[in-house]
Chain A
Amino acid sequence: MATHESHKKRSGLMDWLTTVDHKKIGILYLLAGGFFFLIGGLEAVLMRIQLMEPDSKIFTGELYNQLLTMHGTTMIFLAAMPIIFGFMNAIVPLQLGARDVAFPYVNAVGFWLFFFGGVLLNLSWFLGGAPEAGWTAYAPLSTVAEDTGVDFYVLGLQIAGAGTLAGGINFLVTIINMRAPGMTFMRMPLFTWASFVTSGLILFAFPALTVGFFLLMFERVFDANFFNPDMGGNILIWEHIFWIFGHPEVYILILPAFGIISEVISTFSNKRLFGYSAMVFATVLIGFLGFMVWVHHMFTVGLGPVANSIFAVATMAIAIPTGVKIFNWIFTMWGGQIRFSTAMLFAVGFVPTFVMGGVTGVMLSVPAADYQYHDSYFVVAHFHYVIVGGLILGLFSGLYYWYPRMFNRVLNETLGKWNFWLFFIGFHLTFFPQHWLGLMGMPRRVYTYMSGQDLDGANFVSTIGAILMGAGTIVLLINIIISASSKYATTKDPWDGRTLEWAMPVPTPEYNFAQTPLVRGLDALYVEKTAGNGEMTPAEPVGEIHMPNGSILPFILSLGMFISGFGFIYSNWYVAGAGLGLVLITMFLRSIIDDHGYHIHKEEVEADIKGGRA
């Protein structure tokens, strides 16, 4: 077999800019997503400071609108999804027993598109003001806004969204085509299942958003008339398109958290997951129903009682598979040998918190009642209970759980527990009072309220809670900094794990598995542990391993999109054309340069195995 000599070892910054290794891309996603999480969190704390006292005048008017728009947009698109993608990249191929993802190059393109899209959006703060039409960018708020904020929103998210779609397809193909021998669908770990369904949702939800952004961009940049009633347009088209994407989006966010919780609870209860096949079925069913319910965001629009009722019933139906999951997590813990590590604390804290968010979700799904709750703080409380109390607690849990695998170090457990309690108590202090604020009539998206209306106390408590959540996050940062200065952990399996990602040495070799493992049951590693083997049985002899070459092209391609984004925002067609030209040149180079990757020789792999490095 011919060995390709094109392989260049890169180091330092160039290694990170050109990497196509899914483990490194996972770290990049986590770092970039974590950075945007801090920015989005800062925006939230600033809003809560404004709302701490009645009639406060710190961040008012347009600035407040920018803060709330950027908080929502950043947290959903630039923090939550990238962090999920970080875990998917770092863990899914390992859980499958795969050497790589299906399209390593496309994977890198996906990351850099997200990154440059996020940077473009946030540059709006410095270039004439951030978008101020809310994260939903409802027409006509978004179409008539005079400054360039909404243009940054449209172009930045369009670029980032293209990256997300690429990532979704990549994971679908990876999971379908690249499972190790014996890894049947019904033996896949729940996190991989959740990633699979999430990727499917991305595939069918994001193109709708792509079209929505194109329409809004054409409306603003080329004077189209989709949403302008004077010219025959209809603003409801934007709302429908946005929520046809937007509702599945919340399941894109929450399903991976469900997956993480399933892994963590099973591992730290030292039991296999209760009702595994019911969990898989519930995940798929939630994914399916997620597409059927977008109109519950539009009950007060006036689509009529028939449409409202159908979508109300479909919405309520989601509570059933979700309830199945909740009970299965509880039954997994029942009778288990529970170890309350930080990861497990976050997972256990998740369960009742998410249930509370789910209950208010069912309350909101009654159209008649929704007329009362609509656009009040009750809605704010509901979705933060689901997204923060569900997704973010899940992500924290996953971070503490997988940190040893991703960064070869264990986070400090004492600081971790401080992080959990500060964040958990802060969270409930922030959002629980908001249910009452909403029922008392406090509208969302409004920067002030008057004193003497019984809104003061709850708002004050809410702000204190937000500051506690911030403090919890700072403890996490300290923990990460301390761990970064410590040595590599020597243990490859710190939690007595059950799934394949714990079967490799630390640090994970670039080719993951020296020999593709043979999977002989659910919780593949645990099966081998109980059989007395302690490690996976290989499914193939030691041989040459084929690896993809790194490439700078994904970075340049995304840079081209970034440049053309500026061109469209400022209606400078030369810049827009130059950016798109750069994209086409990159695609052209990618297609004419033959790149078949390189091979790691059998002797090297054997040496790694002998030295305990593979």
Chain B
Amino acid sequence: MNAGERLTDANFPAHPEKATLEGKNKFLGFWLFLGGETVLFATLFGTYLGLRNMHLEGPSGAELFSLPLVFLATMLLLTSSLTSVYAVLSLKQNKVRSLQGWFLVTLLLGLGFLGLEIYEFIHYVHEGHTFTSSAFGSAFYTLVGFHGAHVLFGILWITTLLARNWNRGITLSNAPKYYLFALYWHFVDVVWVFIFTVVYLMGKVG
């Protein structure tokens, strides 16, 4: 069977994302890639932890951070992870419309998160907390900004993926791609949970 062919309920495999060797390779390769990404973020967290109290004359984290706003952003992102789970469940049941619907919700929630983050950054700059104002500023914007860039990349990814496959149904070629995006999105979410804890909660309580 051609990998680009639309699957029917009759020939639908239990794990369409790794039914082909190509899918298996992508599945494993992406998990490994996420291992590398873990080191990337761990290094950024380490840098932030080393520098988080070096705010000099500028405002400290405790003065800057507004927990209700960050909590709202967290809820948006965590919910988007849940909707991507529903999308993958639809994938495994060969329900392409439902898959598209859930990923669209994921996309919108991700955009909402990104909007809040941009608002937050602009607000901080007005408070005198800039990228160059102190080591704390550099470390904060680098860590949180790297995460934000990952969210932005995920949004571009799922947009392209949905647009390209809108009329195609689920195939052995695109099933791994949907699945990998969901993995990526969960990873970005988990990193945010750590940022929420290490940057915002620890920043508030010292």
Is B68 part of the binding interface, using a Cβ–Cβ cutoff of 8 Å? no
Q: Contact at B2–A173, with CB atoms within 8 Å? A: no
B43 near A244 with CB under 8 A, answer yes
CA distance A204 to B56 in the complex (A): 34
User: In the bound complex, do residue B47 and residue A225 qualify as a contact, i.e. CB atoms below 8 Å apart?
Assistant: no
A533 CB within 8 Å of chain B: no
Interface 9-residue window, one of A76-84, A232-240, A277-285:
A232-240
A206 to B: closest C-beta gap in Å = 7
A177, A210, A225, A591: the one contacting B132 at CB < 8 Å is A225
Nearest opposing residue in chain A for B30, CB measure: A169
Instruction: Give complex CA distance A588, B136 in Å.
Output: 36
Q: Are B2 and A241 touching (Cβ within 8 A)? A: no
Asked whether A233 lies within 8 Å of B142 as measured between CB atoms, the reply is no
Chain A residues near B24 (CB-CB < 8 A): 177
Question: Are B135 and A173 neighbours in the complex by a CB distance under 8 Å?
Answer: no
Which one, B32-40, B101-109, B196-204, is touching chain A? Answer: B32-40
Chain A count of residues within 8 A CB distance of the other chain: 45
Given A215-B47, A226-B47, verify A588-B36 contact (CB < 8 Å). Answer: no
From 109 to 131 in chain B, residues with beta carbon under 8 angstroms from any chain A beta carbon are 131
Q: With A224-B132, A231-B135 in contact, do A172 and B32 touch (Cβ < 8 Å)?
A: yes
Selected contact of A596 from candidates B3, B33, B133, B137, CB within 8 Å:
B3
> Which B residue sits closest to A594, measured CB to CB?
B4
Contacts A173-B25, A173-B28, A226-B139 known; A211 to B43 CB distance under 8 Å? yes
Question: Complex Cα distance A223/B46, Å?
Answer: 20
Task: Establish whether residues B33 and A224, one from each chain, have CB atoms under 8 Å apart when the complex forms.
Answer: no
Complex CA gap A328/B134 in Å reads 55
Q: Is B66 positioned at the interface, with any CB of A under 8 Å from its CB?
A: no
Is the CB of A218 closer than 8 A to any CB of chain B? yes
Cα(A224)–Cα(B54), bound, Å: 13
Contacts known (A211-B44, A594-B4); A165 close to B36, Cβ less than 8 A = yes
A170-B26 Cα distance, complex, nearest whole Å = 10
Contacts of B161 in A (CB 8 A): 591
A383 to nearest B CB, angstroms?
Answer: 24
CA of A592 to CA of B46, assembled, Å: 38
Give A198-225 interface residues, CB cut-off 8 Å to B. 203-208, 210-212, 214-215, 218-219, 222-225
Contacts of A1 on B, CB cut-off 8 Å? 2
Is B51 in the interface zone, CB < 8 Å from A? yes
Q: Which of A439-495 contact B (CB under 8 A)?
A: none
- Complex CA gap A170/B28 in Å reads 10
Task: Give the total number of A-B pairs whose CB atoms are below 8 A apart.
Answer: 117
- Specify which of A176, A208, A225, A592 is in contact with B164 (CB 8 Å cutoff): A592
Cross-chain contact of A226 among B4, B21, B135 (Cβ < 8 A): B135
Asked whether B98 is an interface residue with its Cβ less than 8 Å from the other chain, the reply is no
Interfacial chain B residues near A203, Cβ < 8 Å: 32, 35-36
Chain B binding surface SS class: helix
List residues of chain A with CB within 8 A of the CB of B135.
Answer: 225-226, 228, 231-234
Give the residue name and chain of the B residue nearest to A209 (CB). B43
Closest to A99 in B: B21
Q: Across the interface, do B43 and A177 meet the contact criterion of CB distance under 8 Å?
A: no
- Which residues of A have CB within 8 Å of B44? 211
Tell me which residues across on chain B come within 8 A of A103, comparing CB atoms. 25, 29
B83: Cβ under 8 A from any A Cβ: no
CB neighbours of A165 from chain B (8 A) = 36
- Structural contact, B56 and A232, CB atoms closer than 8 A: yes
Instruction: Report the minimum CB–CB distance from A234 to chain B (whole Å).
Output: 6
Contact A207 B28 (CB under 8 A): no
* Set of chain A residues within 8 Å of B40, measured between Cβ atoms: 207-208, 210-211
Smallest beta-carbon distance B107→chain A, Å:
16
The answer to whether A591 and B164 have CB atoms under 8 Å apart is yes
Cβ A169 vs Cβ B29 within 8 A: yes
| Chain B: interface size category | 35 or more
Chain A residues whose CB sits within 8 angstroms of the CB of B93 once the complex forms: none
Write out the residue numbers on chain B whose beta carbons fall within 8 Å of the beta carbon of A234. Answer: 50-51, 54, 135
Residue B160 at the chain A interface, CB threshold 8 Å: yes
* A344 contacts partner chain B, Cβ-Cβ < 8 Å: no
Instruction: Identify the closest chain A residue to B58 (Cβ).
Output: A232
- Contact yes or no, B25 A237, CB < 8 A: no
State in angstroms the CA–CA spacing of A501 and B43 once bound together: 40
Q: Tell yes or no: B79 within 8 A of A by CB.
A: no
A362 CA / B80 CA spacing, docked (Å): 52
Tell me if B81 is interfacial: C-beta within 8 Å of chain A: no
Which residues in B have their C-beta under 8 angstroms from that of A215? 47, 142
Check: A2 CB closer than 8 A to any chain B CB: yes
Q: Which residues of A contact B36 (CB under 8 A)?
A: 165, 169, 203-204, 206-207
Across-interface contacts of A49 in B (CB, < 8 A): none
Q: With A and B bound together, what is the CA distance between A208 and B150 in angstroms? A: 17
Quick check: is A410 within 8 A (CB to CB) of the other chain?
no
**Is residue B147 contacting chain A, with contact meaning CB distance below 8 A?**
no
Chain B 1-44: CB-based contact to A (< 8 A → 1; otherwise 0): 01110000000000000000100110011001101110110011
Closest B residue to A223 by beta carbon equals: B132
Q: When chains A and B are docked, how far (Å) is the Cα of A234 from the Cα of B135?
A: 8
Residue-wise, chain A 583-595 has the 8 Å CB interface mask toward B (1 for contact) of 0100010011010
Which B170-205 residues have C-beta < 8 A from chain A? 173
- Please tell me if the beta carbons of B160 and A591 are within 8 angstroms of each other in the complex: yes
Q: Does B95 contact A (CB under 8 A)?
A: no
Within 8 Å by CB of A237, from B29, B50, B137, lies B50
Name the residue among B4, B28, B39, B131 with the largest chain A CB count within 10 angstroms. Answer: B39
Most buried by A among B28, B156, B161: B28
- B90 near A: Cβ within 8 Å? no
Whether B54 lies near A233 (C-beta < 8 A) is yes
Contact of B25 among A177, A231, A244 (CB under 8 A): A177
Kindly list chain B residues whose C-beta atoms are within 8 Å of the C-beta of A190.
none
Among A208, A211, A596, chain B packs the most CB atoms within 10 A around the CB of A211
Q: Which chain A residues border B35 with CB–CB below 8 Å?
A: 203-204
Please name all residues of chain A whose beta carbon is closer than 8 Å to the beta carbon of B37 when the two chains form the complex.
Answer: 207
Among A177, A225, A237, A240, find the residue whose CB has the most chain B CB atoms closer than 10 A.
Answer: A225
CB closest chain-A residue, reference B145? A218
A222 CB contacts on chain B under 8 angstroms: 131-132
Minimum CB–CB distance from B117 to chain A (whole Å) comes to 18
Asked if A154 is at the interface (CB within 8 A of a chain B CB), the reply is no
Is B138 among interface residues, defined by CB-CB distance under 8 A? yes
A177 vs B22: C-alpha distance when bound (angstroms):
10
Q: How far is the CA of A215 from the CA of B142 in the complex (A)?
A: 8
Confirm or deny: B97 has a beta carbon within 8 angstroms of a beta carbon on chain A: no
Give every chain A residue within 8 A of B3 (Cβ-Cβ): 596
Of residues 142 through 168 on chain B, the ones whose CB sits less than 8 Å from some CB of chain A are: 142, 156, 160-161, 164
CA distance A439 to B49 in the complex (A): 40
Choice from B2, B47, B56, B164 contacting A231 with Cβ under 8 Å: B56
- Closest chain B residue to A176, Cβ basis: B28
A241 to B51, CA, bound (A): 14
Instruction: Jot down 25 A-B pairs with beta carbons below 8 A, ordered by A.
Output: A1-B2, A102-B25, A103-B29, A169-B29, A177-B24, A178-B25, A203-B35, A204-B35, A204-B36, A205-B39, A208-B39, A208-B43, A212-B43, A215-B47, A223-B132, A231-B56, A232-B134, A232-B135, A233-B54, A233-B138, A237-B47, A244-B43, A584-B156, A592-B164, A596-B173
Using A207-B37, A233-B54 as known contacts, list a sample of 7 further A-B pairs with CB atoms less than 8 Å apart, ordered by residue number in A: A177-B25, A178-B21, A204-B39, A215-B142, A226-B47, A237-B46, A596-B4
9 pairs of A and B residues whose beta carbons are closest in the complex: A232-B54, A232-B135, A224-B138, A207-B40, A211-B43, A207-B39, A102-B25, A233-B135, A173-B29
